[in-house]
Amino acid sequence: MVTRPPRLADVAKAAGVSTATASMALNGTGGTRIGADTRARVRAAAAELGYRPNTVARGLRTRRTHMIGFVGDDVATTPFAGQMIRGAHDAARKAGFLLLMIDTTGDPSETGEAIAALQERQIDGILMATMYHQVIDVPEEIGSTPVVLLDSRSADGSASSVVPDERGGTLGVLAELAAAGHRRIGHVTTAEDVEARRIRLDTWREHLTAYGLDPDELLAEAPEAMTRGGYDTAMRLLTRLDRPTAIFCFNDRMAMGVYRAADELGLSIPDDLSVVSYDDQELIAPELAPALTSAALPHYAMGRWAVEELLRRLDDPDAEPAGHLMPCPISRRDSVAPV
């Protein structure tokens, strides 16, 4: 005999009450209408039977599924994604929500389909995550579904969003260098037109200008933000007559190239050259020799915040969309020394 799982009606019958009473007793709703002993009887019956509410039925009635759609443009490829998902997952679970994941593989036409698939399932809200900090338009398919953007901002500020405080992080690592007495700080970056590049570059420019230095003298760009690009650009900066005493790298991968270039030129890090970077990638920054000082991308925290914000919006759909800058903590390691 296949015993199907107990329904609320079974619990009610076992406790000798109506399903309405059972529902209210278990959910604590209905105010004072349920007596203490009745409540206890229902609870005991539920425990006895191993009752688990059918959230599909509940969802149909209440229009709340306690599921959040997570739309990512590439779940797998970057190690960052995992942390973002994890932050979102943890915050969701704490509030009794689960994540319904969907990956668009970066294909924009997929995004509309993904959103529709989630909406059919009556998710309570949507998290839209991008792998890199960027500015996007909220897809119109979203309609009135509450949404929070993760690692990207909406062009018109119509949706809540959380992005890393790139400016703060940049100022942070530059402050490390300044504290060690560095002035001539080079910057190696990518030519790719991404938000992160723009902010880090502008902030660094500002910093140098404040010292009366000409940033353009100390800037080098590579086509791509990879090791190779870091190597090439560092070579250019470090073979100049008045080479910088420190380099701020766009990211850790480029920093790897800078390390190699310094090595080949017989420059010792941090004694002859200090290096700071961005991203604080797990398998890179702490593993380099010497370990690299880097501003961390707060993916876990952003994931968390996004869910918390989404839950806030579920409570109050008319609240103003919030744009949050998540601080990028500085991981201080061994790649910075006094001039």
Distance (Å, whole) CA 201 – CA 208: 11
Q: Would you say 89 and 99 are in contact if contact means Cβ atoms under 8 Å apart?
A: yes
Closest listed residue to residue 11, CA positions, set 33, 44, 60:
44
- Among the listed ranges 87-95, 152-160, 165-173, 263-271, the one in contact with a copy of itself (CB under 8 A) is 87-95
DSSP state of 298: -
Exactly one of 1, 3, 32, 210 binds DNA (CB under 7 A); that residue is 32
CA–CA separation, 269 and 178 (whole Å): 17
33 versus 240: smaller Cβ distance to DNA: 33
Residue 57 engages a copy of itself in binding (rule: CB under 8 A): yes
Residue that is written with structure tokens 């509410």 in the block:
53
Does 122 engage in binding with a copy of itself (CB under 8 A)?
Answer: yes
DSSP for residue 284? T
Say whether residue 304 binds a copy of itself (CB under 8 A). no
Given the rule CB under 7 A, which of 35-43, 94-102, 234-242, 328-336 is the region that contacts DNA?
35-43
Which region among 26-34, 110-118, 155-163, 291-299 touches DNA (by CB under 7 A)? 26-34
Which sign does the torsion angle of CA 105, 107, 110, 112 carry?
positive
Contact assessment for residue 222 and residue 254, using Cβ atoms and an 8 Å cutoff: yes
Q: How far is the CB of 28 from DNA (least distance, A)?
A: 10
> How far apart are the C-alpha atoms of 53 and 46, rounded to whole Å?
10
The encoded tokens of residue 237 equal: 């900066």
What is the three-class DSSP state of 261? Answer: helix
> Residue 108 interacts with a copy of itself (CB under 8 A)?
no
Q: Rule CB under 7 A: which of 59-88 touch DNA?
A: 60-63
52 binds a copy of itself (CB under 8 A): yes
**Of 139, 133, 145, which Cα lies nearest the Cα of 170?**
133
* Residue 283 binds a copy of itself, judged by CB under 8 A: yes
Helix axes 299-315, 79-94, angle to 10 degrees: 40
Q: Is 59 in the site for a copy of itself (CB under 8 A)?
A: yes
Query: Would you count residue 93 as binding a copy of itself (CB under 8 A)?
Result: yes
Q: Which does 99 bind (CB under 5 to 8 A by kind): a copy of itself, DNA, none?
A: a copy of itself
Question: H helices then E strands: how many in the chain?
Answer: 11, 12
The one of a copy of itself, DNA, none whose footprint includes residue 8, by CB under 5 to 8 A per kind, is DNA
Under the binding rule (CB under 7 A), the answer on residue 37 touching DNA is: yes
Q: What is the radius of gyration, based on Cα positions, of the chain? A: 27
Site residues for a copy of itself per CB under 8 A: 2, 52-57, 59-60, 65, 67, 70, 75-77, 79, 81-83, 85-86, 89-90, 93, 98-103, 116-122, 144, 283
Site residues for DNA per CB under 7 A: 4, 7-9, 16-21, 23-24, 26-27, 29-30, 32-35, 37-38, 53-54, 57-58, 60-63
